[in-house]
């Protein structure tokens, strides 16, 4: 009899629930906050931000065959500024100095060059480590960047003139 009683109760309970659902009851109290979930995946890198540094440019032609020839800055370079130099290698392309390779001079001669630079508060010197015809002149752009206290610049990134131009809003 026991064996018949339990299945009969189960059938009555399951079949006895019919009809419409009733109205929802009142809202209960907010429960306790659950445990924190696992840490999510790292997001993609954000856009390179600005650090408050400012930059300005000097464009000039320089005869790199002159002994002690250099470019005279219009205003002295301040102690919190530094200079990046770019050689206009072709009509549309600047490359960072130091540079060893080929470039067009102002007369459109395609020459092999090996250049470095150094500067002081008043003068920028471009040193050519190759023998070039007397009077060989190239187009340069000096980018003077004013630092900010505690600021950091990625100088490796600034070997590419396009990055300098984009980060500092330079005009060609």
The per-residue pLDDT for 16 is 55
Can you tell me whether residue 88 is helix, strand or coil?
Answer: strand
In this prediction, residue 152 carries a pLDDT of 78
Low-confidence ranges of the chain (pLDDT < 50): none
In the three-class reduction of DSSP (H, G, I as helix; E, B as strand; rest coil), residue 127 is classed as: strand
- CA-CA distance, 150 to 123, in Å (whole number)? 27
Give the pLDDT of residue 39. Answer: 81
Question: What SS3 class is residue 103?
Answer: strand
Closest residue by Cα to residue 53 from 158, 160, 172, 159: 158
pLDDT single digits (tens) 143-157: 999 887 777 778 899
- Cα 137 to the chain's mean position, in Å? 32
pTM over 0.75: no
Q: Which residues are within 8 A (CB) of 172 and not within 5 positions of it... i.e. 6 or more apart?
A: 165
């Amino acid at each position: 009899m026991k064996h018949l009683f339990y299945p009969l109760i189960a059938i009555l309970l399951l079949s006895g629930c019919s009809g419409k659902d009733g109205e929802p009851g009142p809202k209960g109290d907010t429960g306790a906050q659950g445990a924190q979930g696992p840490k999510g995946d790292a997001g993609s890198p954000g856009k390179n931000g600005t650090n408050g540094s400012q930059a300005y440019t000097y464009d000039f032609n320089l005869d790199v065959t002159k002994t002690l020839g250099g470019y005279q800055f219009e205003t002295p370079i301040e102690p919190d500024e530094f200079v990046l130099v770019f050689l206009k290698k072709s009509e549309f392309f600047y490359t960072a100095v130091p540079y060893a390779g080929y470039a067009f001079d102002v007369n459109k001669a395609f020459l092999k060059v090996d250049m470095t630079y150094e500067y002081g508060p008043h003068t920028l010197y471009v040193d050519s480590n190759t023998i070039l015809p007397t009077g060989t002149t190239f187009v340069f752009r000096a980018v003077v960047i004013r630092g900010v206290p505690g600021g950091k610049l990625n100088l490796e990134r600034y070997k590419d003139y396009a990055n300098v131009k984009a980060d500092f809003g330079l005009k060609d």
